[in-house]
Structure 1
Amino acid sequence: MSPSDPHANIRRRGGANPWKYILSVIGVLLLIIIGFNSYATVQYGHVGLYQTFGKLNNNVLEPGIHLKVPFFQSVIQVNTQVAKAETDSSASSMDLQPVSTHVAVNYSVEKSTAFTLMNNVGGNYDNIIINPAVQEIVKEVTARYPAEDLIAKRDLVANEISDHLTARLAKYNLIVKEINIVNFKFSDAFNQSIEAKQVAQQQALKAENDLKRIQIEAKQTIAQAQAEAESLKLKKQEVTAELVQYKQIEVQEKALEKWDGHLPNVTGGATPFIDLSAFVGSSSKSAATSPPASTNAAQP
């Protein structure tokens, strides 16, 4: 054996082969890879289904860690949380007005029937089932209402769409949670006619209110006039000839208190400034009723 042989020392130390080290490392790596491929994790809010060589197993897996056959078996996850599908639909109303409707559907997958849904429809069920069903039902329901009622009875229309869609999607084990009509879009001509109608209704309401106000004011005026007439009638009933004469005497007495003793220079057919006849008459009556003055005549 030549002292320069490079493998002599290796053979003397036990005959170790470097390929063994390489194979050991490869074996460890394979074990690690197999270990990581021996289980799968199903996330919260999902269920899992085993898929072996492309074939689904009807065993539904709950959220958590599950074992599987490495490289031959996989676990697909189905979302069972509430999801949203939005759809645009074009239709015509009962009065043949074009209507574009944007609908949002909240739905979920029933856990126990996830295998049936995935096996018969696949993971793209929102585009395959939900969107076409929404478009068809929206067209059907929209055609039953005039365009104005679609706006005024929005909740009723949404409930009718929800009832029909719930029955349709139940065939595929999809649960409808809620239907929302996000928007109704009409033609420009229809929008202008609606605006003009609203303006006319507001003007008519204003005219009606003005008429009611005028009628109320007229009734108030009549009631006030009737009250004044009744008051005047009562006042007239209180006026008597004695009261008139008494008022005239009061006026004349006040005039005498202010008289300076001179008669007015202007004469005419008007009522005298002071009716002296009342006072003269009263004076005459006083003189007639008083006894004559006694005089002592001298006897011749």
Structure 2
Amino acid sequence: MYEQDQAAAVKRIKRYITLAIVAVVVFPILLGTFFTVEEGHIGIVKRFSEAKYQVNPGIHFKVPMIDSVEEIEVRTRKNEENMASSTAEQMPVTVAVSVNWTVERSSALDLFKQYGGLTQFEQRILDPRFRSATKDIIPKYTAEALIQDRAAAIAGIERLLMDEMEGFPVTVDNIQIENIQLPQKYLNSIETKQTEKNLADAEQHRLARQNLEAQRDVNTAKAKADGITLVAIAEAESTRIKGIAEASAITAKAKALNGNPLIIKLTEAQNWDGKLPHTILGGGSTPILDMRSKS
């Protein structure tokens, strides 16, 4: 009986061991039948190291122990370069330039097959062309133009790089000149020039203000003179009108006197002060004297 129990125990132990071995072997195989791809990436499924197809983000199934998966980022990436170059006047300059680029989702598999991944594509294709475009454009600008019109230089680099990258499964955009490092001697000369310009602008402003004040005084004097002239004209016109009115009145009065002698008598009567004349001249040469005694 003891031997039977011992044999049964050995069988149970063997069964447990077998189940454990099966679990150890089978469980990883089961786990290897599915995989996930993170958002913003494309999964490249390889079979015996040969890229077969691409899958979008999410959970997917594959052949365990045969298929493997690599991810390619399809979000916007940024490359930066610090490049030594020279300006149009042969002045040494160091520029920090950046470019944003994105892998086209539908072409991720082709990019992987041709270049083996993003790092290889950057090193072999994008970066050399980016440096070449930048070094071709920067020497076309003077240092001053490069600082004042940075957008024109950026547009030139972008246009040239897009031409160079045509046909590749990526989109290139948003090129920026992050920094421009010029010799200190040139920066000092720029500062001196700007200071002189500021002084000249201040002097120009002062002269303009003086001219404005002088013009204001001239306008004030002219306004006063115009006012005096207008007053004089008004007074002269008033005098002329009064003279015309008085002349018209005299003429009318004369016509009235000539037409009616009684008006003369009326006028004399209105103008008489109530006293008799002291001397009356007659028609002859002998005067008539007033012989009345004075009281």
TM-score (norm 2): 0.70
Q: Which residue of structure 1 lines up, in the alignment, with residue 172 of structure 2?
A: 176
Moved more, 124-133 or 79-88: 124-133
**Residue number in structure 2 paired with 1:80:** 74
What does residue range 43-192 of structure 1 map to in structure 2 within 5 Å? 43-57=38-52, 59-123=53-117, 124=119, 125-192=121-188
Name the counterpart of 2:18: 23
CA distance in 2, matches of 1:97, 1:14: 91
Is there any run of 5+ residues in structure 1 with no aligned partner, and where? 240-289
Task: Provide the rounded CA distance (Å) in 1 between the counterparts of 2:10 and 2:5.
Answer: 9
Deviates more, 1:115-124 or 1:33-42: 115-124
Q: Which amino acid aligns with 1:38?
A: T
What corresponds to 1:253 in structure 2?
none
Q: 1:23 offset after TM fit, Å?
A: 2.1
Question: Is the 8 Å Cα contact of residues 88 and 135 (structure 1) preserved in structure 2?
Answer: no
Which structure 2 residues correspond to residues 244-255 of structure 1 after superposition, within 5 A?
none
**Matches of 2:56 and 2:106 in 1, distance apart?**
10
User: Would the alpha carbon gap of residues 227 and 38 (structure 1) be closer, same or farther in structure 2, given more than 3 Å must change?
Assistant: closer
Which residue is 1:270 aligned to?
none
Q: Cα distance, 1:79 vs. partner?
A: 0.9
Match of 1:40 in 2: 35
| Cα pair distance change 1:15/1:74, threshold 3 Å | closer
In structure 2, what residue type is equivalent to 1:73? D
Percent identity between the two aligned chains: 27
CA distance in 2 between partners of 1:235 and 1:144 (Å)? 70
Query: What displacement does 1:147 show?
Result: 1.1
Alignment partner, residue 282 of structure 2? none
Specify the code of the residue in structure 2 equivalent to 1:150.
L
Identify the residue that residue 261 of structure 2 maps to in structure 1.
none
Q: Distance in 1 between matches of 2:131 and 2:9?
A: 80
- Equivalent residues of 1:85, 1:130 under 8 A apart: no
Q: What TM-score comes out, normalization by structure 1 length?
A: 0.69
Aligned partner letter, 2:73: N
TM-aligned CA distance change 1:51 to 1:210, over 3 Å: same
CA separation of 1:88/1:14 partners in 2, compared to 1, >3 Å: closer, same or farther? closer
In the TM superposition, residue 175 of structure 1 has moved relative to its aligned partner by 0.6
Find the counterpart in structure 2 of residue 280 from structure 1.
Answer: none
Map of 1:200 onto structure 2: 196
Provide Cα deviations, 1:181-208, integer angstroms capped at 9, x if missing partner: 2222222112111111111222222222
Q: In angstroms, what is the RMSD of aligned CA positions?
A: 3.1
Could you tell me how far 1:229 is from its partner in structure 2?
5.7
Structure with more helix by fraction: 2
| Number of residue pairs matched by the alignment | 241
Deviates further, 86-95 or 128-137: 128-137
Question: Quick one: which amino acid aligns to residue 61 of structure 2?
Answer: L
CA distance in 1 between partners of 2:91 and 2:25 (Å): 68
Structure 2: any 5+ residue segments left out of the alignment?
Answer: 237-276, 279-289
